[in-house]
Structure 1
Amino acid sequence: MNISDVLNILKKERYKLTRRRERMLEIFVEENRYLSAKDILKLIVKDYPYLSVDTIYRNIKLFEELNIIESTELKGNKHYRFKNSDEHHHYIICADCGATKNINMCPMDVISNTPEGFTITHHKFEVYGYCDGCRV
């Protein structure tokens, strides 16, 4: 998925294609890591100095509903990243800056015993650590 795919999704779902929304998406793509709403605000404020954090949260909620971004929790706060594809994937995530690396296997492949009376519908697997840039 790329920005023009997302803009088409917004158009199809009859949401306005605002320049602010497009800029938020550009930030997600440029940064290529998990970002908090406050991180996004810091990066967008030079283009839109009067944009409120509430506007950021409203757009994040919309992007999540449309399956455009995915989320995780870092440092006790929700962080978001652009969803590059609908492919099944797992990440190693830097607990400091939010950078990600794909894990090229699925841990569900080694789980053979699903508890009786339980059906697995989906899963999420994340490993946290520090990237070379953040490790001191």
Structure 2
Amino acid sequence: MAKEMTKIDQAMTTLKEHGFKKTNKREKLLTFLVKKNRYVAAKEVQEYMETEFGSISFDTIYRNLHDFSEIGLLEETDLNGEMKFRFHCCQDKNHHHHHFICTVCGKTQELDLCPMDFFKEQLPGCTIEGHRFEILGRCAECQ
């Protein structure tokens, strides 16, 4: 639990540094994502937030998720035609890795191997400015 609070404290500091107000709702939203530790749909976040705070707009939830993704607190991916979000698994900007993502439950597993060295060799003279690599499939529990 202490490690989760450290993540939340760091996230709340990042929010403040980017001009966002620290609110109980934002803290609860981030805590929910830390505890889930998988990709979740905005609708699932909204349902949780409504159990905590009563009626809350889907647009508000989605906007916050998108904004938090833009400042690096969340990762986002498109699974089965729906945007899903998760708390960024590593706040250390120097730690580079990719993910295996379960298409059923959204759980992720870190992959430390990066295939970019292979692709760099295939693109002489090009400048790669960024990349994203995800492996999609079913985890052991969802087989």
Normalised to the residue count of structure 1, the TM-score between the two structures is: 0.90
Structure 1 window deviating more from structure 2 (100-109 vs 73-82): it is 100-109
Corresponding position: 1:113 with 2:121: yes
Q: One-letter code of the match for 1:89?
A: H
Letter of the structure 1 residue corresponding to residue 47 of structure 2: K
How far apart, in 2, do the equivalents of 1:58 and 1:73 lie? 16
Deviation at 1:9, TM superposition (A): 1.3
2:14 pairs with 1:6: no
CA contact (8 A) 2:96 2:112 kept: no
Which residue pairs with 2:3 in the alignment?
A: none
Give the match's secondary structure for 1:62: helix
Superposed CA deviations along residues 52-100 of structure 1, whole A, max 9, x for unmatched, are 1111011112202211111111010111111132221111100011100
Match of 2:30 among 17, 25, 36: 25
Task: Give the TM-score normalised by structure 2.
Answer: 0.86
Contact 2:101–2:137 (8 Å) recurs in 1: yes
Structure 1 residue ranges (4+ consecutive) displaced by more than 6 angstroms after TM superposition: none
Which amino acid is the alignment partner of residue 19 of structure 2? R
Report the counterpart of residue 36 of structure 1 in structure 2: 41
Give a deviation string over 1:30-63, Cα, whole Å, max 9, x none: 0000111011112222102211111101111220
